[in-house]
Amino acid sequence: MKILVCDKLAPPGIEVLKKAGLQVIEKTKLSLEELKKEIADVEAVIVRSQTKLTKEVLECAKNLKVIGRAGVGLDNIDVETATRLGIIVMNAPGANTISTAEHTFGLILSMMRNIPQSFNSLLQGKWERSKFLGEELYGKTLGIIGLGRIGSEVAKRALSFKMRVLAYDPFISEEVIKKIEVQLTDFETLLRESDIITIHVPLTPETKNMISEKEFSLMKDGVKIVNCARGGIVNEEALIKALESGKVKKCALDVFETEPLPASHPILKFSDRVVLTPHLGASTQEAQVNVAIEIAKNVVDALMGRQIRNAINIVSLDFKTYKVLEPYIKLAEKMGIMSSQLVPFRVNKIRITFSGLLTEYKLDPLSSAFLKGFLTPIIEENVNYINAKEICKERGIETEIVTSSKKSEFLNTIQAELISDKEEKKITGTVFGKESLRIVRIDEFYVEIIPQGYLLFILNMDKPGVIGNIGTILGKKNINIGGMSLGRESPGGKALTVLNIDQKVSKEVLEELKSLDNVLDVRFLEL
C-alpha cells in the first residue's frame, strides 16, 4: 500500500510507516495539479497544516482510505467531502499538550521579567537594570479559562510557583478540580480577581471575542493577558484599547486573528510591554516527534484493519446498519452541540434515553455522537466518536445510557438529560421520514426545531407584543428570520421562542433582546 506524506514529518514517524511495509512517498510543497496527480492512487495521506485537502483534491483520490493530520486542527481538510467519500480522517490531539503548556509558562515568565526587552537592550550595547524591573509570580493570582489537558498542565506549573490559581470551566466537575487543587469560580470572579489571565479554550461561536471591551472593564487595572489557544478569542481591537489605557499592563500572545501577523499590526507599537511569538505552542522537537509517531501508528492501524483511533468522522458500524442509523447519528451530534450551548450550569451527569425501534440496534455510536457534539464547542483539544466518553470521564461527567419501552408520540426518539446538583435540562429529538431531523421538546416546551445553521433561543412570558418586539429589533439589524417554533407552558405563562436566522448575531443585539419587557433569557446557537 502507498502513503503520500505531503508536509514535513519527523523521521521517527516515517520509520513507523516503512516498518509497517508501506511504500512511503515524501513529496512536500506540491502545486494543486501535482497534488491531484499524486493523491490519485495512494491508500493514505499524511499532512500537517500547509497542504490543503479540498473537495477538488479529494475527488481525485481513487483509492484513498485514510487521511492523517499530524496535529490537531482540521481547517485544511474538507472533512465533509472525506466523509461522503468514505475516507477516515484522524488527527493527533494529545501530542502537543506539554509543549503548549510549557510555552504558555515561558511566555508568562518572559512577560513578568521583561526578558525579550532586556535582551534587545543588551544587543544595543546598553545595561539598563533599573528599566527592566520585573515582578514575581509568587503569591500572584493566575486565572485559567478552560481547564482541559493544556489548562490543567498550566495549573500544575503555576501551583509549583506558589501562585493562587482560579479556573473557569463550566464543563468540568468539582471532583476533578479537587484533584488539581485549584479554585473553581465563575467567569466574572476570575476576571475581577486575577493578576494574570491565560486562555485555553477552542475558537467557537461561543468563545469568539470571549475577551472584549466588557470583559476588560471587569479586570484589575494593570492585568496581564496570555493567549496560546486561538486567535480571535481575545478581541484584538479591544486589547489594543486596553493596552493604550493601561487597563492591560502587559500581554503575551502566540496566536493572532490573522496569521502571519501583519507588519503593520498596531500591537507591535507596544514592543516594550508585549511578548509575541509566531504560533510556537506545539513547536518543540519532542512534540514534532510525538505527533509524527502518533499519527503514523494510527494510520498504519487503520490501514491494516486493526483499530481506528482519534477518527473525526467515522463510526464503527457495518454499512447496512450505518445507513439505518446515519440520520440518528447526525441528530444525536446536533443535539449535543445544542445542549452544550444551552445549559447555564455545570454538568455532572448526562443521561441519554433511546426509545422505539432504535433500541434494537447497538447504541454506542449514537451516544458517542451526542457526547462528541456536546464536547466539541467547549474543549481545546479535538474530540471524536472514539474518545468522547473518555474525555467526559476525565472531566468528571458521568454518562448513563438508557433504553425505554414506553410508548412515545414519535416512532423513535433520543432524549438527553443534562444534570447538575440543583437543576437539569432535557432535550428530545426525532427524525421525520428519512432525513428530516427535528428537535421536538426542550424541557417542558413542545417545539419543532430544525437543528441547523444559526438559532436564537428566547425564553419569554407569553404576552402580546413580545414576538413583534423581537422581530422589530432583528428587522432593524437586517437579520432575516428563516423559521420559527413556539412552545408554551400555558396561556400567559412561560414560553420558548426559537428562531432560525440567516446570520450571526452580535453580543450587542443579544443584550438588546434581553432588555425587552417579558424576555427572560436569550441564547444564540450555531450548529
- Per-residue pLDDT at 420: 87
Q: State the average pLDDT over residues 383-411.
A: 83
Closest CA to 191 of 171, 163, 174, 166: 166
Q: Which of 271-285, 316-330, 448-462 has the lowest mean pLDDT?
A: 316-330
DSSP characters over 180-231: HT-EE--HHHHHHH-SEEEE-----TTTTT-BSHHHHHHSPTTEEEEE-S-T
User: What grid cell was written down for 95?
Assistant: 501530542
For residue 456, with 0-12 CB atoms within 10 Å meaning exposed, 13-18 middle and 19 or more buried, which class applies?
buried
| pTM to 2 decimal places | 0.74
Domain containing 84 equals: 1-95+282-314
Q: State the average pLDDT over residues 101-106.
A: 97
User: What grid cell was written down for 354?
Assistant: 433511546
Query: 239 and 146, same structural domain?
Result: yes
- 448, part of any domain: no
Separation of alpha carbons 188 and 521, rounded Å? 18
Separation of CA 278 from chain center: 21
245-263: pLDDT as tens digits: 999 999 999 999 999 999 9
User: What grid cell was written down for 445?
Assistant: 416546551
- 3, part of any domain: yes
The number of helix segments (H) and strand segments (E) in the chain equals 17, 22
Query: 309 and 320, same structural domain?
Result: no
Query: 322 and 179, same structural domain?
Result: no
Residue 259 annotated among the catalytic residues of the structure: yes
Query: 11 and 56, same structural domain?
Result: yes
187-238: pLDDT as tens digits: 999 999 999 999 999 888 788 999 999 999 999 999 999 999 999 999 999 9
- 224, part of any domain: yes
Closest CA to 79 of 312, 334, 384: 312
- Residue 168 predicted with pLDDT over 90: yes
Report which residue type is found at 118. Answer: S
User: What grid cell was written down for 93?
Assistant: 490531539
Name the catalytic one among 80, 188, 259, 489.
Answer: 259
Q: Is 258 helix (H, G, I), strand (E, B) or coil?
A: coil
* Reduced 3-state DSSP string for 227-253: ECCCCCCECHHHHHHHHHHCCEEEEEE
Of the residues 419, 443, 467, the one at which a domain ends: 443
Query: 155 and 262, same structural domain?
Result: yes
- Per-residue pLDDT at 293: 96
Give the count of domains, the chain.
Answer: 4
Instruction: Count CA atoms closer than 13 A to 450's CA, side-chain side.
Output: 11
Separation of alpha carbons 54 and 64, rounded Å? 14
Q: Is 262 helix (H, G, I), strand (E, B) or coil?
A: coil
- Residue 382 predicted with pLDDT over 70: no
Query: 365 and 224, same structural domain?
Result: no
Which CATH number covers residue 168? 3.40.50.720
Neighbouring residues of 396: CB distance < 8 A, sequence distance ≥ 6:
172, 173, 174, 175, 176, 348
Report which residue type is found at 483. Answer: G
The 8-class DSSP code of residue 132 comes to T
Residue 230 annotated among the catalytic residues of the structure: yes
- Per-residue pLDDT at 29: 93
- Residue 317 predicted with pLDDT over 70: no
Residue 395 annotated among the catalytic residues of the structure: no
Q: Where are the beta strands (DSSP E) in 303-420?
A: 349-356, 398-404, 412-419
- Per-residue pLDDT at 315: 62
Neighbouring residues of 233: CB distance < 8 A, sequence distance ≥ 6:
199, 201, 203, 207, 208, 209, 210, 211, 227
Closest CA to 158 of 136, 178, 174: 136
- 462, part of any domain: yes
- Residue 369 predicted with pLDDT over 70: yes
Name the catalytic one among 69, 149, 200, 279.
Answer: 279
Name the catalytic one among 230, 395, 438, 523.
Answer: 230
**To which residue does cell 493604550 refer?**
244
Neighbouring residues of 444: CB distance < 8 A, sequence distance ≥ 6:
489
Query: 239 and 336, same structural domain?
Result: no
Contact 358, 412 (CB under 8 A): yes
Query: 224 and 183, same structural domain?
Result: yes
- With a pLDDT cut of 70, the percent of the chain lying above it is 98
Which CATH number covers residue 379? 3.30.1330.90
Q: State the average pLDDT over residues 444-471.
A: 95
342-351: pLDDT as tens digits: 988 889 999 9
- Per-residue pLDDT at 74: 81
Contact 299, 88 (CB under 8 A): no
Neighbouring residues of 248: CB distance < 8 A, sequence distance ≥ 6:
216, 219, 222, 223, 224, 225, 239, 242
- Per-residue pLDDT at 380: 60
Which CATH number covers residue 499? 3.30.70.260
Q: State the average pLDDT over residues 76-104.
A: 88
Separation of alpha carbons 500 and 230, rounded Å? 28
Q: State the average pLDDT over residues 356-361.
A: 88
Query: 476 and 345, same structural domain?
Result: no
Query: 122 and 194, same structural domain?
Result: yes
- With a pLDDT cut of 90, the percent of the chain lying above it is 76
- 113, part of any domain: yes
Of the residues 276, 304, 335, the one at which a domain ends: 276
- 140, part of any domain: yes
Higher pLDDT, residue 173 or 81 = 81
Mean residue pLDDT across the chain: 92
Query: 426 and 499, same structural domain?
Result: no
Contact 239, 210 (CB under 8 A): no
- 270, part of any domain: yes
Q: State the average pLDDT over residues 266-287.
A: 95
- Please tell me the chain's helix, strand, coil percentages from 3-state DSSP, rounded to the nearest 5: 35, 25, 40
Separation of alpha carbons 61 and 230, rounded Å? 32
Query: 262 and 180, same structural domain?
Result: yes
